[in-house]
Structure 1
């Protein structure tokens, strides 16, 4: 197109051969070939071409192609260089207009030359800067979108992990109690050859009751997992059913008693379920590893509920093996409701489990801040002497 413009006479005639105008045209066109790979070299070729063209012409084709050299240098070159290039072209445009006006001694020549120089020098650089800003903004938004997607994936994985942990805790607490009783009772029935028919029948009835209740709780959990929308909430265990748990352990062969202190009342659902599961797991551990007698206390206070289970520890090996998941689950349940948890040897050589579960929002906040969970001692944030005095006072009341 530049050659066609030269052949059409689109250049300033200075009495030179037309083929000389092809040299600067070729230089600027060579700059177009390397505009993306070497934008600064493209600008250098363009500058060389426009200078030579100014000496022998200038020609319209070379000037137009030089604008692309400026555009490519500002768009693909370093960001700092593009801003410098804008300042240089602006100064050149103003200077060209001023020189033209001074030489022609006419302000109209200044205006015309200034506008033309601005179109050739400033407009390509400004256009490139605008496009570069949009491109950088799009890249930034793309990176931000990738980060948001990554965070969303991490949140999804964390939610899945939390749900898997919760389900594992529920399944363990739900099944361990019933199946531990079944295993111990069936082992006793198989190991004793002197049992009469009535005793065997009583044991088998207890085995059947535990298996049926375990299956019923499993179905309740499945119903809760499948619950959607406004469907009726699946039946959940409640701390008010503590006596049923103690009776089940008694039928399994342990001498157990329960004491309820304070006025039983409705407590938050999370605390209700946590208290029930902690009591269930503590009794299961007593059944698997402990011995009679077993003492259970559920104490309703103004802003909390305390669940305490104490049992003797014999010298014999545990009745059933354990993996330690029960203590972990009780500790997790207590922590989730902002309470404190203690599990360890008691003063009389037995084993004690104590869970302090807040029932009011203020108590939950205070417990979460000052009563972190630990095993083998009193909850943090409470003096050991204070805990002993409270226990002694309650035993005195009993």
Structure 2
């Protein structure tokens, strides 16, 4: 407001100087009267942004008075700013209406003066002058207004794109954290669950022979080394640059090694492969391996004396299933505490409570199956705890990577 008032004051002073210099049509009117319309159009400059329509009304009154007593050049020039401000800062619909009105008035002004003077040249000159005073400010304001609105729309669009990019980044980070948590859980839980079960069992038994203790320690050492090796592999993948595939990734074809590891931990496991083993996509291969690994870990921690593992290759899918009996804990005859798997001497009882779980196993298995387009189910069925994952598999060699 202060800036507009300053410009209005300068315009008024400059207008007075032009009037004193004779920049007006001389009529039988005192020169001082020309300051009145000049003051009105200058007041329109003061409110040009806050109340552009009021400014146009003041300017219209001012130019009307000026046409009677003058007209004067400064009043006409400042009136063009009143028209410009109304078209730029007023409602968009009003600016369109104002353009039409200004065009009609320009044509009428030229026509009336031409008819009254009887000279077609007066029609052209006055029509062009009226167009410069009325139409030009409106069209200029409308062009600038359109550019401002377009710039504002581009800024809004850029902010929206930036926000969407930030949301995508946050979602990608959350997805990657979930994937890393799932990988670390599945990678470490199998080895360290076996270590915890065997070490706790060894501490709970006082009647073990040196050979049995040595066998347990060998299994503990083996699980420790394999767990560390898989941790180093994970760290290497996190440090790796680019999108090169892991050449030593776990494969469902290595399922027998997982079963053998469970056997060495003390669980009697029956492993069966049905159908013709086929190449799987990396994602399905890893999902099947990790689901089987976690299911065997849960069977070792919470299951009964044995487990039946099946990998069934069918047309368009591969099924991974693990069944283990849900038995009561086998009590230690010495102190009455639950017995734990100790190498091949003792079958596993219920290790729940001795090896607490985080509750992420079933969630992780289900996530892995769903992420590759498969299905997962787990629950008690006739005295058996049954885990079953059905994963998609290409029907021919040509489409073998479609599932990934």
Compute the TM-score of the two structures, normalised by the length of structure 1. Answer: 0.89
Higher RCO, 1 vs 2 (CA within 8 Å, ≥6 residues apart): 2
Question: Does structure 1 conserve the Cα–Cα contact (< 8 Å) formed by 2:113 and 2:126?
Answer: yes
Specify the alignment match of 1:337 in structure 2. 372
Specify the alignment match of 2:295 in structure 1. 282
- Find the residue that maps to 1:291 and give its secondary structure: coil
C-alpha displacement of 1:231: 6.1
Specify the alignment match of 2:43 in structure 1. 30
Alpha-carbon distance in 2 for matches of 1:232, 1:336: 18
Pair 1:232–1:269, CA change in 2 (3 A): closer
Q: Does 1:264 align with 2:277?
A: yes
1:294-309 alignment to 2 at 5 Å? Answer: 294-309=307-322
Specify the alignment match of 1:182 in structure 2. 195
Question: Does structure 1 conserve the Cα–Cα contact (< 8 Å) formed by 2:315 and 2:395?
Answer: no
C-alpha distance after superposition, 1:104-136 (max 9, x if no partner): 111111111100000000100110011001111
C-alpha distance after superposition, 1:45-99 (max 9, x if no partner): 1111101101100001100000000000110111111111111111110110110
Match of 1:356 among 390, 398, 402: 390
Specify the alignment match of 2:332 in structure 1. none
Question: Does structure 2 conserve the Cα–Cα contact (< 8 Å) formed by 1:227 and 1:234?
Answer: no
Alpha-carbon distance in 1 for matches of 2:168, 2:287: 25
- Find the residue that maps to 2:305 and give its secondary structure: strand
C-alpha displacement of 1:230: 7.0
Alpha-carbon distance in 2 for matches of 1:310, 1:232: 33
Specify the alignment match of 1:9 in structure 2. 22
1:77-226 alignment to 2 at 5 Å? Answer: 77-226=90-239
Compute the TM-score of the two structures, normalised by the length of structure 2. Answer: 0.87
- Find the residue that maps to 2:387 and give its secondary structure: strand
Question: Does structure 2 conserve the Cα–Cα contact (< 8 Å) formed by 1:24 and 1:48?
Answer: yes
C-alpha displacement of 1:234: 5.2
Match of 1:236 among 249, 261, 270: 249
- Find the residue that maps to 2:212 and give its secondary structure: helix
Alpha-carbon distance in 1 for matches of 2:76, 2:66: 8
Question: Does structure 1 conserve the Cα–Cα contact (< 8 Å) formed by 2:284 and 2:392?
Answer: yes
Question: Does structure 2 conserve the Cα–Cα contact (< 8 Å) formed by 1:223 and 1:234?
Answer: no
Pair 1:184–1:229, CA change in 2 (3 A): same
1:45-56 alignment to 2 at 5 Å? Answer: 45-56=58-69
- Find the residue that maps to 2:311 and give its secondary structure: strand
Question: Does structure 1 conserve the Cα–Cα contact (< 8 Å) formed by 2:83 and 2:138?
Answer: yes
C-alpha distance after superposition, 1:112-167 (max 9, x if no partner): 11000000001001100110011111111111111111111111111011001101
RMSD across aligned positions (CA): 2.0
